[in-house]
């Protein structure tokens, strides 16, 4: 009598290839491999190429990240219809699925430009934030171009080694740096989101939050909240 085992070898279950830095993938395959590796905390697809994160240093990334998150959380907590995110995967297009260090977005139901599909952000949030090594990093070159092309309205980069803050706003399809005569940078997309870049670079969180609170208490922030509330009531 012939049994099944003598006719064919048992089939092995198909394994999902590991995600590796330098892989060239589309966003669907990138997401499939990334989802199969829950131990990996950060991987990005930028212009079709996979980038994996390296170990994180305290003063070069972890603390700056913490301070920026506190500043954005203060604003989001005072502004109905706004939410923030930390290392959320962004489905921008078939070649790009980055994880911005931080983001601030107008919720879709309040007229935001990004949407949520299966709890993933699809499209560019209004403000993206990256903590970068220097001007020669990917954040200041390739990512900047990707975010511009995908119409992020603002992009903030903290260049740690250069001790500089670059805050770009999208104007006529180009990123232009925000400037200020009094030293306080003010968002054009999020009225009342104010930043003292010198205090941030100096890691003076108390001053950063103090200036942030002044912005929240400003008339332009009150007017923005009223507009958001009106938009949220629109059927």
Rounded CA-CA distance 19/29 in Å is: 10
pLDDT at 98: 94
pTM, two decimal places: 0.85
Rounded CA-CA distance 96/31 in Å is: 11
pLDDT at 52: 79
Q: Is 9 exposed, middle or buried (0-12, 13-18, 19+ CB in 10 A)?
A: exposed
Strand spans (E) along the chain: 43-46, 49-52, 82-86, 90-91, 102-106, 115-117, 120-122, 127-132, 154-159, 164-171, 174-177, 185-186, 194-195
Taking only the tens of pLDDT, the chain with its 235 residues reads: 434 333 443 343 358 888 888 888 899 999 999 899 888 888 888 988 888 777 778 878 899 999 999 999 999 999 999 999 999 999 999 999 999 999 999 999 999 999 999 999 999 999 999 998 777 788 888 999 999 999 999 999 999 999 999 999 999 999 999 999 999 999 999 999 999 999 999 999 999 999 999 999 999 999 999 999 999 875 5
The CATH number of the domain covering residues in 58-230 = 3.90.1570.10
Cβ atoms of residues 148 and 175 within 8 Å: yes
pLDDT at 58: 83
Q: What are the residue ranges spanned by the domains of the chain?
A: 58-230
pLDDT at 14: 55
Terminal alpha carbon distance of the chain: 71
How many CA within 13 A on the CB side of residue 145?
Answer: 6
Tally Cβ neighbours within 10 Å of residue 120. 13
Local structure of 203: helix, strand or coil: coil
Residues 6 or more apart whose CB falls under 8 angstroms from that of 159 comprise: 132, 133, 134, 135, 137, 140, 165, 166
């Amino acid at each position: 009598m012939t049994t099944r085992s003598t006719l064919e070898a048992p089939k092995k279950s198909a394994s999902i290839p590991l995600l590796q830095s330098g892989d060239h993938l589309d966003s669907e395959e990138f997401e499939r491999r990334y989802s199969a590796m829950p131990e990996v905390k950060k991987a990005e697809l930028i212009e079709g190429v996979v980038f994996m994160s390296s170990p994180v240093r305290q003063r070069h990334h972890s603390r700056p990240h913490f301070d920026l998150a506190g500043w954005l959380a203060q604003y989001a907590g005072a502004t109905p219809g706004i939410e923030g995110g930390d290392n959320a995967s962004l489905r921008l297009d078939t070649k790009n699925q980055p994880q911005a260090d931080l983001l601030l977005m107008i919720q879709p139901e309040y007229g935001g430009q990004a949407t949520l599909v299966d709890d993933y952000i699809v499209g560019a949030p209004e403000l993206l934030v990256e903590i970068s090594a220097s001007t020669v990093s990917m954040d200041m070159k390739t990512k900047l171009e990707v975010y511009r092309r995908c119409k992020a309205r603002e992009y903030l980069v903290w260049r740690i080694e250069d001790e500089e803050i670059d805050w770009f706003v999208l104007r006529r399809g180009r990123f232009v740096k925000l400037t200020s005569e009094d030293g306080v940078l003010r968002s054009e997309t999020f009225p009342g989101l104010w930043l003292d870049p010198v205090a941030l670079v100096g890691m003076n969180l108390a001053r950063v939050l103090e200036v942030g609170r002044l912005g929240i208490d400003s008339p332009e922030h009150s007017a923005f909240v009223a507009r958001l509330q009106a938009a949220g009531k629109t059927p």
